[in-house]
Structure 1
Amino acid sequence: MSSLANKIQKYINELLANSKEGYIELQRSKLAEQFVCVPSQINYVLGTRFTIKQGYVVESQQGGGGYLRIIKLPLTNAQLLTLIDETIDKSVSEHGAMELLKRLYNEDLLTFREMLIMKSLIQRETLDEGLKRDEIRARLIKAMLITLLRQEFQQN
């Protein structure tokens, strides 16, 4: 992941978190100047990290100074069920599953710890191809326990 893209994403998320309206308006060129990058870098961040699937709508107005309006969509229970159904279906890639977990975490539906536990279960290393049910179960239990025992979660 690009460090610059992470910084831009973090900045936009902070602005959204502080917005009483649930949306922000920015100018692409001023944002590019602020981060000393080309406007296409801003487009990349918006196109990959602020999508409908991730809970955002990005509106763009051209000309006359133009602006970007980034809207954070709240997630209702019905929408959550639809999102899970559409994302997971009969199979899901590791990336797709991680995007879902991140969205649930960002919506405060999962704690950070719960997200990490679930991440440990879906990682490619845990779910190796060709394993039998008992082997998969053993890997899942190990992955959960290792995550639970990680130092940063100890209450001492």
Structure 2
Amino acid sequence: MRNISDLIEQYLKQILSSSPGGAIEIQRSDLAEKFSCVPSQINYVISTRFTLEKGYYVESKRGGGGYIRIQRVDLPNLEAVQRHIQLTIGDQIDQTAAEGLVYQLEEACFLTPREAHLLKAAMSRDTIQLKLPLRDELRARLLRAMLVALLSK
């Protein structure tokens, strides 16, 4: 059985995909009521599963008529993706940012689920057991090399 966070994420992605502009505005309290949970659960899902690294821009307005706006940031073509990779990775990349980039590329269908799974395993701090900052530097070099090889197929 899926947990409430998975259900909320799935629901938000479903309404995002059917939204003509690729953006939605929701009220935290309405969504919490729909899923019979506390508003902080909605905050948790949005802050952990709808990040810029994962391809989403989130804007929040608090107060009486407050809302949360979630917009999908699409990667349009391979050239733009390669630029995005160079900008995102840089000389170092931490595990969270690396996993976010892999997630974004998988969501945009530039990577298969199997390729994404392999990349995440290779980028894990359990796999690269070095001290910082060497670990983040090695992760950046490995991730860049693997993505160049995968995306130039």
Identify whether the pair has TM-score above 0.5, normalized to the shorter chain: yes
- Identity of aligned pairs, percent? 42
Gaps of 5+ in 2: 132-141, 143-153
Q: What residue is the counterpart of 2:105 in the other structure?
A: 104
CA drift at 1:112: 0.8
Alpha-carbon distance between aligned partners in 1 of 2:125 and 2:54, rounded to the nearest angstrom? 22
Alpha-carbon distance between aligned partners in 1 of 2:76 and 2:83, rounded to the nearest angstrom? 10
Spell out, residue by residue over 1:71-105, the C-alpha distance to the aligned partner (whole angstroms, 9 max, x if none). 11111356534432343222222222111101100
Q: What residue is the counterpart of 1:14 in the other structure?
A: 14
The answer to whether 1:39 aligns with 2:39 is: yes
Alpha-carbon distance between aligned partners in 1 of 2:62 and 2:9, rounded to the nearest angstrom? 22
Alpha-carbon distance between aligned partners in 2 of 1:50 and 1:110, rounded to the nearest angstrom? 19
Alpha-carbon distance between aligned partners in 2 of 1:63 and 1:126, rounded to the nearest angstrom? 45
Task: Provide the aligned length of Structure 1 versus Structure 2.
Answer: 130
Give the counterpart letter for 1:75 in structure 2: L
- Residue 75 of structure 2 contacts residue 81 of structure 2 at CA under 8 Å; is this kept in 1? yes
Q: What residue is the counterpart of 2:119 in the other structure?
A: 118
Q: What residue is the counterpart of 1:145 in the other structure?
A: none
Alpha-carbon distance between aligned partners in 1 of 2:130 and 2:85, rounded to the nearest angstrom? 24
CA drift at 1:63: 5.3
Alpha-carbon distance between aligned partners in 2 of 1:86 and 1:20, rounded to the nearest angstrom? 28
CA drift at 1:65: 4.3
Indicate how the Cα distance of structure 1 residues 83 and 33 shifts in structure 2: closer, same or farther if over 3 A, else same.
Answer: same
Structure 1 stretch 56-65 or stretch 112-121: which is displaced more? Answer: 56-65
CA drift at 1:122: 1.8
**Higher relative contact order (Cα pairs below 8 Å, separated by 6+ residues):** 2
Indicate how the Cα distance of structure 1 residues 122 and 57 shifts in structure 2: closer, same or farther if over 3 A, else same.
Answer: closer
Q: Which TM-score applies when normalising by structure 1?
A: 0.68
Larger radius of gyration: 1
1:76 aligned counterpart, secondary structure: coil
Superposed counterparts of 1:4-153, under 5 Å: 4-62=4-62, 65-77=65-77, 79-129=80-130
Alpha-carbon distance between aligned partners in 1 of 2:91 and 2:61, rounded to the nearest angstrom? 39
Gaps of 5+ in 1: 131-139, 141-156
Spell out, residue by residue over 1:7-30, the C-alpha distance to the aligned partner (whole angstroms, 9 max, x if none). 211211111122233122222111
